[in-house]
Chains A and B, each alone.
Chain A
Amino acid sequence: MFLKFFRRKKKVEVISAHAKKKPEIVTYLVSSLFLHENFDLMKDDSTETFYYVTGPEVCGVKILDKIEKFGYEERSGVFAKAVTKESTLILIKLDLHGHRLWGYFHSHTQPGVSGTGPSWVDLRLRDTLDRGGHKAIGVIFSKDGFIRFFSPKPFKIIIYGEGVVKINEELYHLVKI
């Protein structure tokens, strides 16, 4: 009886040891110049702009440096939907070239920090990509240069260069130089 109890207790300990395993932190590297260029692409548009971002991976660090654009099936000031076939072809092309999807950038037409909050549509896309094992980070640009990074997994952002002010781990602001 005592032995049975002892064995059971041990099993619980083993399970909890597995549960304590630290989650992997995904690191992304992005140039401040690239962020400014992206903002310039989006700021004058009264509708939402949306595209994929890819790049190389060096020593586990994912570098966001290449834009992959697709057409829109629907586009307004509060919504943007990619043409599914174009999005599919881009992802297949990336896969065939041994590249991965590292990010999906889009703009919100509202200003300020509150303008960078991901909507339920953004979160739905985030969850869909996560289900497929994508390590893509969502990036939202507000009308006045605030940038929010969001992902279901823990992440770290490294900004290379000047012209970007860090507010917190997820939120940054573009400044004029």
Chain B
Amino acid sequence: MEKQVSIVVAASGEVKDIALSQGATVKEVLNEAGLRGYQLSRKGGEPLSPDTDLYSEATDSEKLYATPEDVSVGGGGSAPLSKITSALKKIADYIISKYKLYLERFKKQRFFFIKRVRLIRTRYIKQLNTASRIRLERKHKKNSVRIVGKDKEYTYWQENGWRKIGNEYRGFFQTKFGKWRGVIAENYRNDYSFYIVTPPAILRESSHWECFTHKGNGLYSIHFSHKPKDISSGILTVEQLITESFEEGRKGVSDVS
């Protein structure tokens, strides 16, 4: 069974969703994600060793941080003798480690090994600042009435009152337990980021709470383990998730707006 992890390139806004098969290591993940020269760590900053079995180490949908391994700058000049010897030692160590690795693979007859890591997609998280949010709010109020052509086919998001404003869709995630304001940002063609404003408190107790990341001012981004095919299926997934959380009956109806 495959596991999925999200590799967040810390402070860059880039997120890489990776599917792991059994035995996948940190090194394989970094290679697949194209993050040569990076290391993986959890929120605490403790790095994971390159040979760590990430499949058994990480939980499904876990968020891991990728940060540069060697953060150094130099003004040039002639390198001291100690640096030259240490550099030569590093090169020798690298060659020896590579030789050992290939020898090990050859012994295990895994020279042409099966790919255990797959890059699903790369996302870029946009930061919504307050100014643009207010601007969108004003636009939204202005365009409260919109006439849609008769021949246009209605989809779930349109039927449920969602409206498109520029590259964003605004509306409500509606369930029998209440409705919650939502924003869907179109990153690029057929790739969307889903947000919910002040989600119901019951979600915090649900196992899905990990998928919600607070972005400030009550705005939460929603992470999907499987990318929704379109906006409507994304909305339906969120609505189903909220309904399920309420039906689990841990807390009852709350925060219904």
- Residues of chain A touching chain B, judged by Cβ–Cβ distance below 8 Å, are 48, 50, 54, 56-58, 70, 74, 77-82, 84-85, 87-89, 91-92, 94-96, 98-101, 104, 106-110, 115, 117, 119-122, 124-125, 128-129, 131-135
Contacts and interface: CB of A to CB of B under 8 A. Distances in A.
Contacts of B72: 74, 79-82, 121, 125
A128 B37 contact: yes
Given A89-B45, A134-B11, A98 B215 contact: yes
Nearest to A75: B72
Given A91-B65, A117-B76, A131 B71 contact: no
Nearest to B83: A79
Interface of B: 8-14, 34-39, 41, 43, 45-47, 65-77, 79, 83, 122, 124, 127, 129, 131, 215-216
Contacts of B124: 133
A70 B77 CA distance: 24
A81 B67 contact: no
B47 A88 contact: yes
26 contacts: A48-B75, A54-B11, A77-B75, A80-B72, A84-B71, A85-B45, A85-B47, A88-B39, A91-B65, A91-B67, A98-B127, A100-B13, A100-B127, A101-B11, A104-B73, A119-B75, A121-B72, A121-B74, A125-B70, A128-B36, A131-B35, A132-B9, A133-B122, A133-B124, A134-B11, A135-B12
Contacts of B131: 58
Contacts of A84: 39, 47, 67, 69-71
A32 B77 CA distance: 29
Nearest to B10: A91
Contacts of A108: 75-76
Nearest to B127: A98
Given A95-B8, A98-B216, A50 B73 contact: yes
Residue of B10, B13, B74, B83 with most chain A CB atoms under a 10 A cut-off: B74
Nearest to A73: B72
Given A58-B131, A128-B38, A132-B35, A78 B13 contact: no
Contacts of A104: 73
Contacts of B75: 48, 77-79, 107-110, 115, 119
Given A85-B45, A125-B68, A133 B74 contact: no
A121 to B, nearest CB: 4
Given A95-B11, A134-B9, 5 more contacts: A79-B74, A87-B71, A88-B39, A88-B41, A94-B11
A117 B75 CA distance: 8
A132 B14 contact: yes
A88 B69 CA distance: 8
B185 to A, nearest CB: 14
A138 B19 CA distance: 33
A81 B9 contact: no
Contacts of B66: 132
A121 B68 contact: no
Contact of A101 (B8, B12, B34, B79): B12
B175 to A, nearest CB: 28
Nearest to A54: B11
A89 B8 CA distance: 13
A124 B13 CA distance: 21
- Of the candidates B34, B45, B71, B124, the one having the most CB atoms from chain A within 10 angstroms of its own CB is B71
A128 B9 CA distance: 11
Given A132-B12, A133-B124, A106 B71 contact: no
B37 A88 contact: no
A84 to B, nearest CB: 7
A120 B75 CA distance: 9
Given A85-B45, A92-B67, A128-B37, A133 B9 contact: yes
